C-alpha cells in the first residue's frame, strides 16, 4: 500500500444541467484518479525499489485506505499461513488514517503481518510506534553507494563518487540528487544563499515566494533547507580549517571560499542553528512561507 492522492485534479468530464448534480460522477472520477495515482507509485516502486517514490503534496494515506486494508486482511489467505501487507511511507498518514491504523494494530486479524516503512518515524503517532517492533536499517558505506550507482544505474565513476560522498549512506538520496529535480533543488538552495547575502530585501522576499509556489506543487522546501544546511556547514569548515578541507559541495568550493572569507565562525553557527530550527518548524506543520521569511531575515541579520 502506498499513499494515494487525496486531492486529485477535478473531473472536468462530469456535466450538470440535465437533471444531475454530477456529484456521483465527480466522486467516482476522484476515486479513480486516486487509485491510478497509487498504482502509478506502486509501479515506480516495483521498478526501482531503491529510489525514493516521487510523492507529491497530496499523496497521503487516508482513513479509507486503512479501512480497505482491514477488509482485505479479514479474508483468509489463499496460499501460505499468513497475509503480509506493507504500508510504504507510513509517516505520510493523516490523523484519521493514523487512528484507524491504531485500531487495526490493537486488534489485528489473526493472519495478517503488517510492515510499516517510514523515513521520518518521528511523525508516526507514539501509540503506533509502541505497538510495533522497530527495525532500524543502518546506512550504507560510501563505497557501497558508489558501486551501486555505477553498477545499477550506469552513473559515471566521478559523479558516483561525488553523489556517494554527499548521500549520508542513503542510496535513495544519491539517486534523488542525480535527477533533474534534485539538481533544481540544489540550484535553488545556492540561489537562496546568494540572495540572503547579496540581494535587496524585495528580491529576497520574491525568492521566498517563488520557493513557496514550487512547494505547493511538490514538497521541496525541506529538501532545499537540507541543501542550504550543507552549504552552511561547508562555510563553517572553510572558515575554520586550513589547507584543502573536504566539502559536501566540492564543485562550489571557490564561491563558498569567497563567501566564507567574509563571515566569522559565530555568524555561520547562528545560521546553522536558524536553518535547523526552520526545518523542525516546517516538519511540525508550521506555515511554510512564514517559516521561510523568518529564516531568511535571521540569516540576513546574522551577516
Give per-residue pLDDT as tens, 140-151.
999 999 999 999
pLDDT (0 to 100) of residue 143? 94
| Cβ proximity of 66 and 104 under 8 Å | yes
- Relative orientation angle of helices 180-198 and 221-240, to the nearest 10 degrees: 60
d(CA 149, CA 161): 9
How is residue 252 annotated by DSSP? G
C-alpha cell at 242: 586550513
Tell me the backbone φ, ψ of residue 249, rounded to 5 degrees: -115, 65
The model carries a pTM of: 0.65
Look at residue 8 and tell me whether its pLDDT is greater than 60: no
* Least confident segment among 30-39, 69-78, 107-116, 163-172: 30-39
Q: Nearest-CA neighbor of 279 among 295, 267, 268?
A: 295
C-alpha cell of residue 275? 536553518
Which range, 2-11, 23-32, 160-169, is most confident?
A: 160-169
Residue written as grid cell 547575502: 197
Predicted local confidence at residue 10, as pLDDT: 41
For residue 54, the model assigns a pLDDT of 67
Q: Within 13 Å, how many C-alpha atoms sit on residue 6's CB side?
A: 15
Exposure string (b/e) for 71-92, b if CB count within 10 Å is 16 or more?
eebeeeeeeeeebebebbbbbb
Helix axes 157-166, 171-178, angle to 10 degrees: 120
Calculate the average pLDDT of the chain: 82
* 41-45, 190-194, 240-244: range with lowest mean pLDDT: 240-244
In percent, the amount of the chain with pLDDT more than 70 equals: 85
Neighbouring residues of 279: CB distance < 8 A, sequence distance ≥ 6: 222, 225, 226, 229
Average pLDDT over residues 74-91: 82
Q: Distance between CA atoms of 193 and 196, rounded to whole angstroms?
A: 5
Query: Which cell is 71 given?
Result: 477488509
Query: What pLDDT score was predicted for residue 295?
Result: 94
pLDDT in tens, 84-98: 888 888 888 888 888
Is the pLDDT reported for residue 181 higher than 70? yes
Confidence of residue 18 (pLDDT cuts 50, 70, 90): very low
**Does residue 12 surpass a pLDDT of 50?**
no
More confident residue, 58 or 127: 127
Positive/negative CA dihedral, 75, 81, 87, 88: negative
pLDDT at 39: 78
pLDDT reading at 21 higher than 50: no
Across the range 271-296, mean pLDDT stands at 91
Q: Using CB atoms within 10 A of its CB, is residue 292 exposed (0-12), middle (13-18) or buried (19+)? A: buried
Phi, psi of 289 (to 5 degrees): -65, -40
pLDDT bracket for residue 229 (50, 70, 90): very high
C-alpha neighbours within 13 Å on the C-beta side of residue 46: 9
CA distance 80 to 136: 27
Mean pLDDT confidence for 51-67: 75
Residue 4 banded pLDDT, cuts 50, 70, 90:
low
pLDDT band at 15 (very low <50, low <70, confident <90, very high): very low
Question: E strand or H helix at 85, and its extent?
Answer: strand 83-87
- The phi and psi torsions of 242 (rounded to 5 degrees) equal -105, 160
Cell of 109: 486479524
Amino acid at each position: 500500500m502506498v499513499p494515494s492522492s487525496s486531492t486529485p485534479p477535478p473531473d472536468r468530464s462530469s456535466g450538470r444541467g440535465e437533471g444531475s448534480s454530477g456529484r456521483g460522477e465527480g466522486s467516482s472520477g476522484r476515486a479513480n484518479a486516486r487509485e491510478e495515482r497509487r498504482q502509478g507509485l506502486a509501479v515506480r516502486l516495483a521498478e526501482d525499489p531503491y529510489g525514493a517514490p516521487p510523492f507529491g503534496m497530496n499523496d497521503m494515506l487516508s482513513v479509507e485506505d486503512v479501512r480497505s486494508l482491514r477488509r482485505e486482511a479479514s479474508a483468509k489467505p489463499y496460499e501460505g499461513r499468513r497475509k503480509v501487507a506493507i504500508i510504504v511511507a507510513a509517516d505520510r498518514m493523516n490523523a484519521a488514517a493514523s487512528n484507524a491504523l491504531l485500531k487495526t494494530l490493537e486488534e489485528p486479524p489473526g493472519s495478517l503481518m503488517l510492515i510499516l516503512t517510514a523515513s521520518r518515524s518521528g511523525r508516526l503517532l507514539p501509540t503506533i510506534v509502541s505497538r510495533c517492533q522497530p527495525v532500524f536499517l543502518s546506512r550504507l558505506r560510501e563505497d557501497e553507494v558508489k558501486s551501486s550507482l555505477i553498477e545499477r544505474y550506469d552513473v559515471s565513476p566521478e559523479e558516483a563518487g561525488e553523489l556517494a560522498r554527499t548521500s549520508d549512506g542513503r542510496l535513495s538520496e544519491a539517486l534523488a540528487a542525480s535527477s533533474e529535480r534534485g539538481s533544481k533543488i540544489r540550484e535553488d538552495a545556492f540561489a537562496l544563499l546568494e540572495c540572503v547575502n547579496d540581494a535587496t530585501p524585495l528580491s529576497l522576499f520574491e525568492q521566498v515566494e517563488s520557493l513557496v509556489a514550487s512547494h505547493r506543487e511538490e514538497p521541496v522546501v525541506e529538501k532545499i533547507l537540507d541543501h542550504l544546511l550543507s552549504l552552511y556547514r561547508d562555510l563553517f569548515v572553510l572558515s575554520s580549517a586550513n589547507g584543502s578541507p573536504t566539502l559536501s559541495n566540492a564543485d562550489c568550493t571557490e564561491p563558498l571560499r569567497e563567501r566564507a572569507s567574509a563571515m566569522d565562525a559565530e555568524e555561520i553557527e547562528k545560521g546553522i542553528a536558524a536553518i535547523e530550527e526552520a526545518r523542525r518548524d516546517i516538519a511540525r506543520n508550521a506555515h511554510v512561507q512564514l517559516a521561510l521569511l523568518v529564516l531568511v531575515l535571521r540569516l540576513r541579520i546574522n551577516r
